[in-house]
Amino acid sequence: MDSVEKISKLADLLAESKKTMVLTGAGISTESGIPDFRGPGGLWTKVDPMLVFSADTFIYRPEIFYKQGMHLLGALRGASPNAAHHVLAELERAGLVDAVITQNIDGLHQKAGSHRVYELHGHLRSASCIKCGHMISWEGLEELVLAGQIPPRHGGQCRGVYKPDCVFFGDSLPPEFYDCCREVSQSGLLVVVGSSLEVSPVNYLPELCKNLVIINMGETMADHQAVLKIEALAGEVFTALSGVLKERGHFYPKTGQLA
Ligand code: NAD
């Protein structure tokens, strides 16, 4: 099958599926200038993530994250969504995608306009006190750090350390993970975009769906299960898909176009 036939097959699968979920990973955001985990320039190459982003290290030595890791996460907050994020939001509005499950913490699906987003690894909008749960905004966290509070602490009697509301290595996933498992097992189609599927337990989700499509540069752990594998840049695939769906105007009887 050539690339045009593959995009056409993806459009068919989306049209036939009554419920479609999309699982995204770091690869969907590389075209927004955020390096993925393992690629050149990725986080692995800058710091030792198993130390700097370790839940255990954070408990005993939170200053390691605040001195070496926080600015790396903060840099993700300035990125803008790319074509893949935008088309996914359009597909949700058009009723062709039910929800996005993301491993990313960059918030780009919401910035692009997606509404139903499971952020399985959390986000960079806030931080919470690890002692009492008191929450502050990311900007509030940055203010404390810039004022020299390392680690930043909740005031008053509490004095608990603030931790960003994203999942560190060794943290458990939010309870919404079980909602994702249920939704994927009820779906006709799961589309994986830009993930090596090496991170557990998210890589369990492809086992649960009836039909699996993978859009990823490079191999993934679930390639053998996929009814369709598209090895190309996510932005190009979704731009082409959007074109095909617009040509097949019957998906959008009211406006004749996406969105
Ligand atoms: P990963 O780095 O293990 O895999 C990314 C995959 O995407 C690779 O196979 C890569 O070849 C492919 N890829 C890269 N650019 C692509 C593109 N433009 N189009 C299609 N494919 C592309 O990522 P993962 O599976 O998400 O696991 C990494 C972990 O790191 C996740 O837990 C995630 O939370 C975290 N992470 C998040 C961000 C972010 O929020 N943007 C960035 C880096 C890491």
Q: Per-residue confidence at 211, pLDDT binned at 50, 70, 90?
A: very high
DSSP 9-50: HHHHHHHH-SSEEEEE-GGGGGGGT---SSSTTSHHHHS-HH
Q: Ligand 1: does its nearest atom lie under 6 Å from the Cβ of 196?
A: yes
Q: What is the pLDDT of residue 251?
A: 57
For residue 2, what are its two tokens?
A: 């050539």
* Catalytic-role residue among 86, 109, 121, 154: 121
Residue (of 116, 81, 94) closest to 11 by Cα position: 94
Instruction: Establish whether 85 is a catalytic residue.
Output: no
pTM of the model as a whole: 0.93
CA of 153 to the centre of ligand 1 (A): 32
Helices (H), the chain: 3-16, 43-46, 49-52, 55-60, 62-68, 70-76, 83-93, 108-112, 138-146, 176-185, 234-247
The average pLDDT across 31-45 equals: 75
122-179: per-residue pLDDT in tens? 999 999 999 999 999 999 999 999 999 999 999 999 999 999 999 999 999 999 999 9
Rounded to an integer, the average pLDDT of 48-56 is 92
Candidate from 44-53, 117-126, 247-256 with smallest mean pLDDT:
247-256
pLDDT of residue 36: 80
Write the DSSP string, 232-244: S-HHHHHHHHHHH
Q: Which domains does the chain have, with CATH numbers?
A: 1-34+81-121+173-259 (3.40.50.1220), 47-78+122-166 (3.30.1600.10)
Candidates 6, 36, 195, 215: which one to mutate for ligand 1, based on the most atoms within 8 Å of Cβ?
36
109: pLDDT strictly greater than 70: yes
Please tell me if the CB atom of residue 194 comes closer than 6 angstroms to any atom of ligand 1: yes
